[in-house]
Amino acid sequence: MRRFAVIGLGRFGQKLAIALAMSGAEVVAIDRQREQVDLIRDQVAHAVRLDSTDMEAMRSQGIDKVDVATVGIGQGTAQGFEAGVLTVVNLRQMGVPQIYARAESLTAGEVFSKIGATEVIYPEIESAQRWAYRLIAPQIDEKIDVAPGYSLARIEAPASFDGRTVMDLQLRQKYNVNLVLIKHNGQASGRRTERDSIINVPAPDTVVQEGDILMVAGSDADLARLPQE
């Protein structure tokens, strides 16, 4: 079982620690404030009140032996940002293999990267970007980023796709996106097994029905051009 340290139990840290614990991971949750620790104590393996800038205190709780550490200390003050920086430095010196640091700005993120954070998390920026895309392209149910600006997306076939073949739709020619998989909604006539309802290599003569789940790949800009109705 992988061991995680979640340092800083604000809104981000609390939700992250609980989500990791619910997924079966062993989580050590850390904060300077007793009330924050008490709020999460019953939901993780260990919840400890300590100063994460104190390396010996961290070692005493076995933080040097975790597989992954996340640093989500609030950066609303200079002291908070400094504590985050010192915590990342301590984790790097203790040899923690993976260190993720939450940053509230791009400048803070650059600092964390330079002092040894494996990766920087920008929850506010990433959330705003996701919501902006959902507002622009509501037909995209969810997407997985595979490279900057390129995604694998899940869409529900609109009414304009109903009864048309893959060749008729011409998704590559019209929208510059590739159809990867179709999951039929099962409402068409005829019986299908669960395996038959999923077509992982759609042929040109495959018929698409309204409500089918389509997995498509392409640039975010091209995916946003797919029809909504």
The string of pLDDT tens digits covering residues 146-164 is 888 888 999 999 999 999 9
Whether pLDDT at 134 is above 80: no
The label of the residue with tokens 């895309």 reads 133
Among left, alpha and beta (phi > 0; psi -120 to 50; other), residue 45 is: alpha
Q: Which residues pair with 219 in a beta bridge?
A: 150
Q: Which two tokens stand for residue 74?
A: 């609030």
Task: Say how far apart CA 64 and CA 59 lie, in whole Å.
Answer: 6
Q: Please state, in angstroms and rounded to a whole number, the distance separating the CA atoms of residues 165 and 207.
A: 4
Question: What 3-state DSSP class applies to 72?
Answer: coil
Convert the pLDDT of each residue in 47-62 to its tens digit. 999 999 999 999 999 9
Q: Which of 93, 216, 66, 41 is nearest to 143 (CA)?
A: 216
Phi, psi angles (nearest 5°) of residue 190: 95, 150
Q: Average pLDDT for residues 13-26, to the nearest whole number?
A: 93
Among 3.30.9.10, 3.40.50.880, 2.60.40.1290, 3.40.50.720, name the CATH number for the domain at 3-122: 3.40.50.720
Q: Is 155 within 8 Å of 216 (Cβ atoms)?
A: yes
- With beta carbons less than 8 A apart as the criterion, state whether 86 and 32 touch: no
Mapped onto helix, strand or coil, the DSSP state of residue 1 is coil
Find the range with the poorest average confidence among 3-17, 25-39, 90-104, 127-141.
127-141
pLDDT, position 196: 54
Q: What's the pTM value of the predicted model, to 2 decimals? A: 0.68
At position 193, the amino acid (one-letter code) is: T
With H, G, I as helix, E, B as strand and everything else as coil, classify residue 228. coil
Question: Cβ atoms within 10 A of the Cβ of 198, count?
Answer: 13
Q: How far apart are CA 36 and CA 34, in angstroms?
A: 5
Q: Where in the chain is the domain with CATH 3.30.70.1450?
A: 134-223
Would you say 29 and 47 are in contact if contact means Cβ atoms under 8 Å apart?
yes
Q: How many CA atoms lie within 13 A of 113 on its CB side?
A: 10
Range(s) for CATH 3.40.50.720 in the chain?
A: 3-122
Query: What confidence score (pLDDT) does residue 145 get?
Result: 82
Instruction: Identify whether the C-beta of residue 87 lies closer than 8 Å to the C-beta of residue 71.
Output: yes
Residues 6+ apart with CB under 8 A from 201: none
State whether CATH 3.40.228.10 applies to domain 134-223.
no
> Mean pLDDT, to the nearest integer, of 32-36?
94
Asked if residue 182 lies in contact with residue 208, where contact means CB atoms within 8 angstroms, the answer is yes
